[in-house]
Amino acid sequence: MLEMTREEFEELVSEALDRVPSELTRLMDNVAVFVEDEPPPSDRELLGLYEGTPLTERGEWYAGVLPDRITIYRGPTLRYCETRADVVRETEVTVVHEIAHHFGIDEERLHALGYG
């Protein structure tokens, strides 16, 4: 397995977020991004997870709720990738994939766009 400290991985996630066009990040609302070492035991190979209410499903009722949560998982990403360059690319793909869920884009469409 590829070695990378949590701090190094967090920096890659931060850099991936910085590469998201500002036109999109300005539209993101009430969402926080986290890095965790491992996903839930039920899905050990999960690279990222979006939890919340997509922007497309929010209505007048949406107020006073906790932020949506995007989690990027270090362990599975490092097990999946062979090189540091692979980790950089996969982290960026995973970050974009989870942000897309925040915007209401489903798995099928993400796979069609190459973010599966």
Mean pLDDT of the 47-70 span: 94
What is the token pair recorded at 46?
Answer: 């999960």
DSSP conformation letters of 31-50 = EEEEEESS--GGGTT--EEE
CA pair distance 99, 96, nearest whole angstrom: 5
Q: Is the pLDDT of residue 114 over 90?
A: no
- 42 Rama sector, left if φ>0, alpha if ψ -120 to 50, beta otherwise: alpha
pLDDT grade for 58, boundaries at 50, 70 and 90: very high
CA pair distance 16, 20, nearest whole angstrom: 7
End-to-end CA distance of the chain: 22
Residue 62 three-state SS: coil
Burial class (CB in 10 A: 0-12, 13-18, 19+), 12: buried
How does pLDDT run across 4-38, given as a tens digit for each residue? Answer: 999 999 999 999 999 999 999 999 999 999 999 99
Stated pTM of the model:
0.92
Which helix (H) or strand (E) segment holds residue 19: the answer is helix 6-19
Q: Is the pLDDT of residue 52 over 80?
A: yes
